Amino acid sequence: MPDAIAIEKWRAKGYEPLGRSSIRLLSIRPGFPTEPIECAFLTILDLEDAPEFDALSYVWGTQLSATPIICNGIEVPVTQNLADALVHLRKLPGWDANVQWPRDHPLHSTKNAWGGFAKNRNEYSGRETHAEELLVWVDALCINQEDFAERASQVAIMGRIYSQAYKVMIWLGKENKQSLQHQEVRAKTAVPQTKAPVESQSRFYFYLGMYGMMPICLSFIAQALRHMENGENKLAAMNPTEDSKHRNMAYGFPAPDAKEWDYLRDFFTNPWFERVWVAQEAVLANRATVLVGNWEIEWAAIGQAAVWFEAKGYGMPAVVRYQMPELKDYLPISKAASIWDLCSWPKHEIPLLKLIREFRTRQATNPVDKIYATFGLAAEMNNVSEKGFHELVRPDYTKALVDVYRDMAKFLIIEHGNLEVLSHAGGSTLKVDWPSWVPDWRHEKVTNEMVSSRHPNVYNADDNQPLSIGVSANPDALVLQGIEVDSVIAYGDRLMSYGFGYVTYQEEIDFIKAAWALFEHCSSIPSDPYKDQAIEEVFVNTLTAGLNNRHMPVSEDICFLPDAAHWFSKHSPNLLSTKLQINRRPKWSTVNSADSGRYHEAFVHACVDRRFFVSRSGLMGIGPETMREGDIVAVLFGGKVPYLLRPQGGRYRYIGECYVHRMMEGEAIEKWIQKGRKQDLFELF
- Domain residues of the chain, as ranges? 4-93+130-165, 401-447+455-494+611-685, 499-608
Q: What percent of the chain has pLDDT over 70?
A: 84
Mean pLDDT calculated for residue range 330-352: 91
Q: Which of 46-50, 300-304, 383-387, 546-550 has the lowest mean pLDDT?
A: 383-387
- Of 446-450, 474-478, 558-562, give the range with the top mean pLDDT: 474-478
pLDDT-based confidence at residue 89 (cuts at 50, 70, 90)? very high
pLDDT of 98? 64
Q: What is the pTM of this model?
A: 0.89
- Is-contact 264 278, C-beta < 8 A? no
Residues 465 and 639: their CA atoms lie apart, in Å, by 9
Strand, helix or coil at 117?
Answer: coil
Looking at residue 5, its pLDDT comes to: 55
CA angle 113, 117, 122 (to 5 degrees): 85
Amino acid at 256: P
pLDDT value, residue 590: 47
pLDDT band at 450 (very low <50, low <70, confident <90, very high): very high
How many whole angstroms separate alpha carbon 396 and alpha carbon 412?
Answer: 18
Q: Residue 48 — pLDDT band, cuts 50, 70, 90?
A: very high
Q: Give pLDDT, residue 92.
A: 81
Q: How is the beta sheet containing 288-292 ordered, strand by strand?
A: 74-76, 69-71, 38-44, 23-28, 134-137, 54-57, 167-171, 288-292, 295-298, 118-120
Q: What is the model's pLDDT at position 676?
A: 92
Q: Which helix (H) or strand (E) holds 358?
A: helix 352-359
pLDDT value, residue 66: 85
Nearest CA among 212, 55, 242 for reference residue 143: 55
What does the pLDDT average to over 346-374? 94
Q: How far apart are the first and last CA of the chain?
A: 44
Task: Label residue 675 exposed, middle or buried (CB < 10 Å: 0-12, 13-18, 19+).
Answer: exposed
3-state secondary structure of 69: strand
Per the DSSP assignment, residues forming a β-bridge with 656 are: 644
**246: confidence class by pLDDT, cuts 50, 70, 90:** confident
| 190 vs 647: which has the higher pLDDT | 647
By the 8 A CB rule, do 109 and 115 touch?
Answer: yes
- What residue type is 276 in one-letter code? V
Question: What's the chain's Rg over C-alpha atoms?
Answer: 29
Q: Which ranges in 583-680 belong to alpha helices (H)?
A: 596-607, 667-675
DSSP state of 271: G
Average pLDDT over residues 25-51: 94
- 162, 50 Cβ separation under 8 angstroms: no
- What pLDDT, on a 0 to 100 scale, did the predictor assign at position 97? 55
φ, ψ dihedrals at 525, nearest 5°: -60, 130
CB-CB contact of 42 with 25 (8 Å): yes
What's the rounded Cα separation, in Å, for the pair 647 and 636? 15
pLDDT band at 248 (very low <50, low <70, confident <90, very high): confident
DSSP annotation of 322 reads S
Please tell me the distance from the alpha carbon of residue 232 to that of residue 237, in angstroms, as a whole number: 8
**Mean pLDDT score, 236-265:** 80
621 with 504: CB under 8 angstroms? no
Q: Which pLDDT tens digit goes with each residue over 101-157?
A: 888 888 999 999 999 999 998 887 654 555 689 999 999 999 999 999 999 999 999
Q: What is the mean pLDDT of residues 662-677?
A: 96
Answer yes or no: is pLDDT of 318 > 60. no
Nearest-CA neighbor of 298 among 309, 286, 290?
A: 290
Of residues 255 and 358, the one with the higher pLDDT is: 358
pLDDT in tens, 418-427: 999 999 999 7
- CA–CA separation, 90 and 132 (whole Å): 10
Q: What is the mean pLDDT of residues 355-363?
A: 96
pLDDT of residue 16: 87
Question: Of the ranges 262-271, 473-482, 492-501, which one carries the lowest mean pLDDT score?
Answer: 492-501
